[in-house]
Amino acid sequence: MGIANGPHLKVYDELAAAALIESDATETSESSWSLDRIDTDCIRLKPAVDGSIRIATFRNTDRVLTLLRECWNRPMRTHDHHDQIQDSLSTREFLKAFHGHLGPYVVLGYRMGRLALEESGSQGHFDISAKVYTNLTPPPSCLIDGVQLGSGCTLGKRNIEVHATGGTPYAVFATKDGLNVTIRLRPEIPSLIATLVDEKGVESAGKFFLEKEWQSLFEVAHN
């Protein structure tokens, strides 16, 4: 990521994961920040009263390094979407820790990403890319956060693109070996989201979509 008037900054996914797993090992500043685009290749942080970004500092680096070593030494686990979501409680907390709440669209984006890995046979993160098509205003744009968490395609690695659309949200995933998978919300899902949020609230609506069979939520096409 380019930093205006300064050196390049490298942001590591492992440190972000460690901050989520060991939240009490970090100290978060009270100041709010937002991203400011300088040009097509450069962005910077700027102070913002209503900004959604906080800066976290690790209080105990030895503890964090020990945690990361333990994670790196664990056997690799494959993604299996048809097991439902293997631990719905930890998944809920993971999504809330990153996104702030368990909204329907972040849940659906996460499940899109996980389904893409299963359908493509990808391990995620580095051998797959995503193009997300959605309204860029919340709550539909919250889908973007979910796709990043589910697939491992992130803005920092530049293997995810976001495109504005007024239609039903969808995402196109492409593996390095040339396989493309398109995952689209079923046409009835946006209106169902609105109804559930009005009747049950945002968190209950998110939980509903976390537990539903994926076939009732998405249309999948291989290109």
Each residue's pLDDT, cut to its tens digit, for the chain (223 residues) gives: 344 444 444 445 667 667 666 666 777 777 888 877 777 677 787 888 877 777 777 777 777 777 777 766 665 554 444 344 444 447 888 898 889 899 999 999 999 999 999 999 999 999 999 999 999 999 999 999 999 999 999 999 999 999 999 899 999 999 999 999 999 999 999 999 999 999 999 999 999 999 999 999 999 999 8
Are the beta carbons of 139 and 103 closer than 8 angstroms?
yes
DSSP 3-state assignment of 135? coil
Structure tokens at 175: 């593996």
* CATH 3.30.1330.130 applies to domain 81-222: yes
For 65, other C-beta atoms within 10 Å of its C-beta total 12
DSSP 3-state assignment of 9? coil
Phi, psi of 52 (to 5 degrees): -100, 5
For 195, other C-beta atoms within 10 Å of its C-beta total 11
Q: What is the pLDDT of residue 81?
A: 43
Residue 167 per-residue DSSP state: S
Q: Which alpha helices (H) appear in the chain, and where do they start and end?
A: 13-21, 61-73, 88-99, 104-120, 143-151, 189-200, 202-211
Q: What is the pLDDT of residue 42?
A: 75
| Rounded Cα distance, 39 and 203, in Å | 37
Structure tokens at 47: 């102070």
Predicted TM-score (pTM) above 0.95: no
Q: For the chain, give every domain's residue range.
A: 13-73, 81-222
Q: Is 131 left (phi over 0), alpha (psi -120 to 50) or beta?
A: beta
Point out which residues pair with 181 in neighbouring strands.
Answer: 173, 222
Longest dimension (CA), the chain: 50
List the one residue out of 184, 117, 181 whose CA is nearest residue 152.
Answer: 117
User: Cα 33 to chain center, whole Å?
Assistant: 19
Residue 76 per-residue DSSP state: P
